[in-house]
């Protein structure tokens, strides 16, 4: 054990992510859902989700995200939104926009939804629809972004940035400005789930990334000079950092995810780890958060091997991302290889070198689908 930080005092979860379903009309090759999502258990019922929401609020959770897959495929979504409003959550719907209608936007507002985030794949219909695996996705997204704005919601648009759309940065920002976006998240792809198996075809080169960041900064200045209130949030990929992020602000610290089948997780990617995570059907949320082995597995620092155990930065980054450590080294206990102190940092450097010479096209990516390997687009 290593002092007080080895057995930390655990506060309540403040952010609850309800992954209502893994079903989705899109087939993005960077989807964060598990590779074997088609084999997950039966989805929680409405009553079970209501119980989860109530337990979370009783514990102190204040923010609630409805996610997936595509949460719109759940017919009980208005009921869950209304329950969340009655409980006092601040609620956010994260959606592709497919399946959304003006009537649903109005119904969600009436039920008490606070915030809607609509995702795009590119600034033009051809690339957007190719990445999404849907011929009509782009026009639907445009229409629903406008409907969200017309309903009085803040317009929050999300673009996952990768080597096939990173050249569109100026065009993406122009599109968002035309739509009247309030916030634009330009989130460079992080390599988990489907994105990990497609990393060679998705990871931009350093030159591409640096150009994109300069363009975003130039656009920020232009918007400020024009008096625009639109905010641009540019998220760089871990693979181009020398220090790891403080993943989820620390394992089991603030965030609690409940998967469609009731599995409770400290982050939405954690089920890929060889850890036995609890189920909300068999344990209360309070027992899961405070007492379950899964949630206590990486709390504190007693689990840390060197170089993390002796590192003065461990209280800032907590050793980095456990999922990234597992995917890149085969052992989730290891230091996140993003850190240049990690003995496995060369694996990150090798990925950077590969990105400088990558030639894989969209047609060579593996797209998210129940069969795990069907190619939906050939460029």
Per DSSP bridges, beta strands 255-258 and 231-235 are: unpaired
**Residue ranges for the binding site?**
24, 28, 31
Residue 35 per-residue DSSP state: T
Please report where in the chains the tokens 């017919």 appear, as a residue: 75
Report the SS3 class of residue 233. Answer: strand
Count other C-beta atoms under 10 Å from residue 39's C-beta: 10
Contact present, 200 and 191 (Cβ < 8 Å): no
**Residue ranges for the binding site for [4Fe-4S] cluster?**
24, 28, 31
């Amino acid at each position: 054990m290593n002092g007080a930080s080895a057995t930390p005092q655990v506060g309540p979860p403040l952010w609850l992510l309800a992954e209502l379903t893994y079903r989705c009309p899109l087939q993005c090759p960077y989807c964060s859902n598990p590779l074997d999502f088609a084999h997950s258990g039966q989805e929680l019922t409405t009553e079970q989700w209501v119980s989860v929401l109530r337990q979370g609020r009783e514990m102190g959770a204040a923010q609630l995200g409805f996610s997936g897959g595509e949460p719109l495929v759940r017919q009980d979504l208005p009921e869950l939104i209304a329950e969340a409003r009655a409980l006092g959550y601040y609620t956010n719907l994260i959606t592709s926009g497919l399946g959304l209608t003006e009537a649903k936007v109005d119904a969600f507002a009436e039920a008490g939804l606070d915030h809607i985030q609509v995702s795009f794949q590119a600034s033009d219909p051809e690339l957007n629809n190719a990445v999404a695996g849907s011929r009509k996705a782009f026009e639907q997204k445009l229409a629903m972004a406008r409907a969200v704005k017309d309903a009085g919601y803040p317009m929050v648009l999300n673009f996952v940035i990768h080597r096939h759309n990173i050249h569109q940065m100026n065009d993406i920002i122009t599109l968002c400005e035309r739509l009247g976006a309030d916030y634009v998240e330009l989130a460079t792809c992080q390599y988990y789930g489907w994105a990990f198996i497609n990393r060679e075809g998705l990871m931009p080169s350093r030159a591409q990334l640096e150009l994109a960041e300069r363009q975003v900064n130039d656009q920020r200045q232009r918007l400020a000079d024009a008096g625009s209130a639109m905010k641009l949030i540019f998220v760089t990929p871990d693979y181009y950092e020398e220090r790891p992020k403080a993943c989820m602000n620390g394992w089991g610290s603030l965030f609690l995810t409940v998967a469609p089948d009731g599995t409770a997780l400290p982050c939405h990617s954690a089920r890929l780890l060889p850890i036995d995570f609890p189920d909300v059907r068999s344990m209360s949320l309070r027992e899961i958060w405070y007492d379950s082995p899964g949630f206590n597995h990486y709390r504190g620092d007693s689990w840390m091997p060197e170089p993390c155990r002796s590192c003065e930065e461990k209280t800032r980054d907590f050793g980095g991302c456990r999922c990234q450590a597992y995917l890149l080294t085969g052992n989730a206990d290891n230091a996140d290889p993003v850190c240049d102190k990690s003995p496995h940092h060369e694996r990150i450097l090798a990925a950077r070198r590969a990105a400088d010479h990558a030639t894989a096209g969209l047609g060579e990516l593996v797209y998210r689908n129940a069969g795990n390997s069907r190619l939906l687009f050939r460029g």
